């Protein structure tokens, strides 16, 4: 076994290489804008240079002189062309309710205000730069503390499902009398996903039917949403998204560019290809909202939590109450009899934020886990022991049992591998030459969520199979785990399974978000395979009770039959079965909603009778230069338990990627905003800091065996988001251990340490 492909332990499948690896490394895998369409015209976006106000005039005269220019779409010729579809929080598929080109109004910096279409990309860009736009500008509000922002409780939000603040007991009274108290304020910055693949869209009409090539985490959602926007029947729209070059949540909702591109293609009766710039990606899609937190913890002298309060504030746009409300998770991690929580939305003149890898847990568990470290220090207790004393198999708000919870086994394995025993609990004491050395740890968690999913499996007599499901390969390894699940069930080699995904005409699957894909889709695939096996065994006296192994149908009594024989016996050319997996707790009609492009996510903290989470433990060593305060991270160790691991290689990859991004979120990444103009000032990959190889030292990922017999039939918990959660807290705690300075607002940068 290798670093990338860990030895499978109990309840883990084989670490097979990705089935699409060769296509990707050879460049054969076609990403949306790579797809050849006949005679495309090229579109270029013009975006607003102000954050609030309206367009006074657009002078097209210079742009019209560009050779090859075909069309200019602005609010003047596009008014009413696009029907608004509901925003996500209101139960719809739209990432924003702002509809550009529907009026001269400007809601945020970088809003789409025109699309220029030309014969060549360069001509479109040239003409776009020649458009002269004049504005009536108003003073925008950028962020927390800006003049003109408004604040409201999340319970008052314009969302379809009203949020309930988790609470139990009497926090105020318990906190007041708690022998040991900790209070902390924490902050996390605006961050952008920056997937390497840009937010491209190509639209091709064939008579009344539209094909959209666009990287999407929800092809069914995009097809239905775009149909609604364009006043088409959903059957007229097909979305193809077979390979996606990074998404992380940014490609989950419908952005305005799609419908505009489709209308441009319709007007021209020609395919239109849009490739926006990296900078435009900062404002035409979504991002991780800036947050603030107040955490209060009260404990007994032996470390038992008696009071916990978490209040959060999140920046959103003016029209959309986008909120992540990570208090749903942060109030349920530890046993505690008295809990209070609240979430507030601060509306500013910004583009609407959206999901970004562990949207809720990344900021909220960061705040909780730094507060836990502060509590451990005040108690004079080891941070691991503080988690152990408060570990629970039952969440404290409603008393619901975890389907499984291996938090302490994760801490035990990670701390051992990390050699935590060497840590000096007194900060600022450990030195290696000019470098101050610090150790920190934190809990990782992610709700195990699912949504209904469907799949079709066809097995042929020659032992080849095909799986169809409108799921998504966002780099997560979805093609691989789906192929592996079918291969295992059908008793054939994984190379004999062809998987089709990323096409809205396939059996619907939910959004590739909330780490739900493997748990949701693999269960549907396994069910369809079981039906295939059932068909093959039909008519036998042992009917129904069969498995498939090594190309044979095997009865419970051990009787074996070659596949070709079984096909002959039932007189079939191929066996094709369709199955729907509807997870525990789903409301009636949930699968029908998936058919309409909606993903009714269930599980996590959403069930009435149980709670489901995957857990982990993160350990980080930092070295801070005593004089310059340069921060290095030589090593990180994470141990994670997530039920049945379909593929230790793809799981390792997901967790490692999450941990590295966690370091990045704690140390590097922040989208800087000009507070006066409410404009992003580092909207490019040169100024938006992300770690490079030299910033990342040793990354040790430990997969902790776990069996969960309740969570879903295959016992799978998602891992896509788990690895990023808690990392920034572990980092922050390590920096404190090294220096004695608590930086409570991310990212932790040299200047913040120098200032203390
Ligand atoms: Mo993920 S942020 O739910 O795509």
User: What tens digit of pLDDT does each residue of 302-337 get?
Assistant: 999 999 999 999 999 999 999 999 999 999 999 999
Q: Is 583 in the pocket of ligand 1 (CB under 6 A)?
A: no
| pTM summary value | 0.97
For the stretch 3-60, pLDDT in tens is 999 999 999 999 999 999 999 999 999 999 999 999 999 999 999 999 999 999 999 9
Which pLDDT score, from 0 to 100, does residue 635 have? 98
Q: Is 616 in the pocket of ligand 1 (CB under 6 A)?
A: no
CA atoms within 13 A on the CB side of 32: 36
Phi-psi region of 53 (alpha: psi -120 to 50; beta: other; left: phi over 0): left
Q: Considering the chain, what is the average pLDDT of its residues?
A: 97
* Cα 247 to averaged position of ligand 1 atoms, centre (Å): 8
Which pLDDT score, from 0 to 100, does residue 159 have? 79
Q: Looking at ligand 1, which atom is closest to the CA of residue 359?
A: 2
* Cα 515 to averaged position of ligand 1 atoms, centre (Å): 7
Query: Residue 591 belongs to what H/E stretch?
Result: helix 590-595
Q: Is 514 in the pocket of ligand 1 (CB under 6 A)?
A: yes
Q: Is 123 in the pocket of ligand 1 (CB under 6 A)?
A: no
Q: Looking at ligand 1, which atom is closest to the CA of residue 721?
A: 1
**How far does Cα 562 stand from its chain's mean position?**
43
Q: How confident is the model at residue 219 (pLDDT cuts 50, 70, 90)?
A: very high
Mutate to test the pocket of ligand 1, among 326, 357, 614 (most ligand atoms within 8 A of CB): 357
Which pLDDT score, from 0 to 100, does residue 1 have? 75
Q: Measured between alpha carbons, how far is residue 103 from residues 79, 82, 138, 333 in Å?
A: 6, 11, 16, 46
Which pLDDT score, from 0 to 100, does residue 301 have? 98
Q: Is 747 in the pocket of ligand 1 (CB under 6 A)?
A: no
* Cα 516 to averaged position of ligand 1 atoms, centre (Å): 9
* Cα 216 to averaged position of ligand 1 atoms, centre (Å): 12
Closest by CA position to 104, among listed 116, 117, 113, 93: 113
Mutate to test the pocket of ligand 1, among 253, 513, 662 (most ligand atoms within 8 A of CB): 513
For the stretch 727-746, pLDDT in tens is 999 999 999 999 999 999 99
Phi-psi region of 515 (alpha: psi -120 to 50; beta: other; left: phi over 0): left
* Cα 437 to averaged position of ligand 1 atoms, centre (Å): 34
For the stretch 547-597, pLDDT in tens is 999 999 999 999 999 999 999 999 999 999 999 999 999 999 999 999 999
Q: Looking at ligand 1, which atom is closest to the CA of residue 720?
A: 1
Q: Is 251 in the pocket of ligand 1 (CB under 6 A)?
A: no
CB 728 within 8 A of CB 666: yes
Q: Looking at ligand 1, which atom is closest to the CA of residue 357?
A: 2
Q: Is 52 in the pocket of ligand 1 (CB under 6 A)?
A: no
* Cα 181 to averaged position of ligand 1 atoms, centre (Å): 35
Q: Which two tokens mark 63?
A: 């742009």
Which pLDDT score, from 0 to 100, does residue 158 have? 81
Q: Looking at ligand 1, which atom is closest to the CA of residue 514?
A: 3
Mutate to test the pocket of ligand 1, among 88, 249, 724 (most ligand atoms within 8 A of CB): 249
- What span, in angstroms and rounded, lies between the C-alpha atoms of 739 and 622? 10
Catalytic residue numbers read 721
* Cα 132 to averaged position of ligand 1 atoms, centre (Å): 38
- What span, in angstroms and rounded, lies between the C-alpha atoms of 56 and 49? 13
* Cα 543 to averaged position of ligand 1 atoms, centre (Å): 42
Phi-psi region of 433 (alpha: psi -120 to 50; beta: other; left: phi over 0): left
Q: Is 252 in the pocket of ligand 1 (CB under 6 A)?
A: yes
Q: Is 661 in the pocket of ligand 1 (CB under 6 A)?
A: no
291: pLDDT strictly greater than 90: yes
* Cα 355 to averaged position of ligand 1 atoms, centre (Å): 5
Q: Looking at ligand 1, which atom is closest to the CA of residue 511?
A: 4
Q: Give me the helices (H) in 270-398, please.
A: 278-284, 327-330, 361-379, 383-389
* Cα 726 to averaged position of ligand 1 atoms, centre (Å): 17
536: pLDDT strictly greater than 80: yes
* Mean pLDDT confidence for 148-156: 95
* Cα 288 to averaged position of ligand 1 atoms, centre (Å): 11
Q: Is 355 in the pocket of ligand 1 (CB under 6 A)?
A: yes
Q: Looking at ligand 1, which atom is closest to the CA of residue 248?
A: 4
Q: How confident is the model at residue 542 (pLDDT cuts 50, 70, 90)?
A: confident
Mutate to test the pocket of ligand 1, among 355, 363, 603, 604 (most ligand atoms within 8 A of CB): 355
Q: Which two tokens mark 281?
A: 């990606």
Q: Is 359 in the pocket of ligand 1 (CB under 6 A)?
A: yes
Q: Give the closest residue (by CA) to ligand 1 atom 4.
A: 249
For the stretch 600-627, pLDDT in tens is 999 999 999 999 999 999 999 999 999 9
**Domains contained in the chain, CATH given:** 1-10+376-448+604-756 (3.30.365.10), 451-599 (3.30.365.10)
∠ at Cα 451 (445, 456), nearest 5°? Answer: 130
Which pLDDT score, from 0 to 100, does residue 85 have? 94
- What span, in angstroms and rounded, lies between the C-alpha atoms of 193 and 188? 15
Mutate to test the pocket of ligand 1, among 194, 662, 721, 724 (most ligand atoms within 8 A of CB): 721
Q: Is 396 in the pocket of ligand 1 (CB under 6 A)?
A: no
Strand order in the sheet with 431-432: 431-432, 435-447, 613-625, 631-641, 698-703
**How far does Cα 479 stand from its chain's mean position?**
18
Q: Is 356 in the pocket of ligand 1 (CB under 6 A)?
A: yes
Report how far apart the first and last C-alpha atoms of the chain are (Å, whole number).
46
């Amino acid at each position: 076994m290798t670093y990338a492909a860990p030895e499978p332990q109990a309840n883990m499948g084989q670490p097979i290489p990705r089935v699409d690896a060769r296509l990707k490394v050879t460049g054969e895998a076609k990403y949306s804008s790579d797809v050849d369409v006949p005679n495309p015209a090229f579109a270029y976006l013009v975006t607003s240079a102000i954050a609030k106000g309206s367009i006074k005039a657009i002078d097209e005269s210079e742009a019209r002189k560009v050779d090859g220019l075909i069309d200019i779409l602005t609010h003047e010729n596009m008014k009413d062309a696009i029907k608004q579809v509901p925003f996500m929080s209101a139960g719809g598929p739209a990432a924003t309710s702002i509809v550009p080109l529907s009026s001269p109004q400007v809601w945020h910096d970088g809003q789409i205000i025109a699309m220029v279409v030309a014969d060549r990309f360069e001509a479109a860009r040239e003409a776009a730069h020649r458009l002269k736009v004049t504005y009536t500008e108003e003073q925008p509000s950028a962020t927390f503390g800006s003049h003109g922002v408004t604040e409201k409780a999340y319970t008052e939000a314009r969302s379809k499902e009203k949020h309930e603040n988790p609470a139990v007991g009497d926090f105020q009274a318990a906190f007041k009398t708690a022998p040991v108290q900790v209070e902390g304020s924490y902050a996390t910055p605006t961050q952008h996903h920056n997937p390497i693949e840009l937010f491209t869209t190509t639209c091709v009409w064939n008579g009344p039917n539209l094909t959209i090539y666009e990287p999407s985490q929800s092809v069914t959602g995009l097809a239905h949403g775009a149909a609604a926007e364009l006043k088409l029947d959903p059957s007229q729209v097909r979305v193809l998204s077979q390979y996606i070059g990074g998404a992380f949540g940014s490609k989950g909702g419908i952005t305005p560019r799609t419908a505009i591109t489709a209308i441009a293609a319709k007007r021209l009766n020609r395919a239109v290809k849009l490739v926006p710039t990296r900078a435009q990606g900062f404002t035409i899609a979504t991002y991780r909202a800036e947050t603030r937190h107040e955490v209060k913890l009260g404990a007994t002298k032996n470390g038992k939590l008696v009071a916990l309060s978490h209040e959060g504030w999140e920046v959103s746009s003016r029209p959309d109450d986008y909120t992540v409300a990570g208090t749903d998770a942060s109030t349920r991690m530890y046993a505690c009899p008295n809990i209070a929580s609240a979430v507030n939305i601060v509306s500013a003149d910004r583009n609407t934020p959206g999901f970004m890898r562990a949207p809720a847990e990344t900021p909220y568990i960061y705040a909780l886990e730094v507060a836990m470290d502060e509590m451990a220090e005040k108690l004079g207790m080891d941070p691991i022991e503080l988690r152990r004393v408060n570990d629970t198999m039952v969440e404290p708000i409603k008393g619901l049992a975890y389907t499984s919870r291996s938090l302490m086994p994760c801490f035990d394995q990670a701390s051992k591998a990390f050699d935590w025993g060497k840590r000096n609990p007194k900060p600022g004491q450990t030195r290696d030459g000019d470098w101050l050395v610090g150790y920190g740890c934190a809990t990782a968690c992610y709700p195990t969520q699912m949504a209904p999913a469907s799949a079709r499996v066809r097995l042929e007599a020659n032992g080849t199979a095909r799986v169809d499901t409108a799921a998504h390969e966002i780099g997560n390894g979805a093609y691989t785990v789906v192929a592996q699940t079918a291969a295992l069930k059908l008793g054939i080699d994984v190379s004999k399974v062809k998987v089709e995904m990323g096409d809205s005409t396939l059996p619907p699957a939910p959004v590739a978000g909330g780490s739900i894909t493997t748990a949701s889709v693999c269960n549907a695939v396994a069910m369809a395979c079981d039906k295939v096996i059932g068909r093959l065994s039909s008519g036998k006296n042992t009917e129904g009770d069969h498995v498939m192994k090594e190309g044979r149908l095997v009865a419970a009594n051990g009787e074996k039959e070659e596949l070709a024989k079984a096909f002959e016996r039932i007189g079939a050319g191929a066996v094709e079965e369709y199955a729907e997996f509807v997870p525990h707790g789903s409301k009636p009609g949930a699968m029908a909603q998936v058919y309409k492009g909606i993903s009714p996510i269930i599980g996590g903290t959403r069930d009435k009778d149980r709670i489901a989470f995957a857990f982990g433990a993160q350990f980080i060593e930092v070295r801070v230069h005593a004089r310059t305060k340069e921060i290095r991270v030589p090593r990180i160790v994470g141990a994670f338990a997530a039920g049945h691991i379909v593929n230790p290689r793809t799981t390792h990859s997901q967790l490692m990627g999450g941990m590295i991004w966690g370091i990045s979120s704690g140390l590097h990444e922040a989208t800087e905003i000009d507070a006066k103009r409410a404009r992003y000032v580092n909207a490019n990959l040169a100024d938006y800091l992300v770690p490079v190889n030299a910033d990342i030292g040793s990354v040790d990922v430990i997969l902790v065996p776990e069996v969960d017999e309740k969570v879903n039939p295959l016992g799978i918990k998602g891992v896509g988001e788990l690895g990023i959660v808690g990392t920034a807290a572990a980092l922050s705690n390590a920096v404190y251990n090294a220096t004695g300075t608590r930086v409570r607002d991310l990212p932790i940068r040299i200047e913040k340490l120098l200032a203390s």
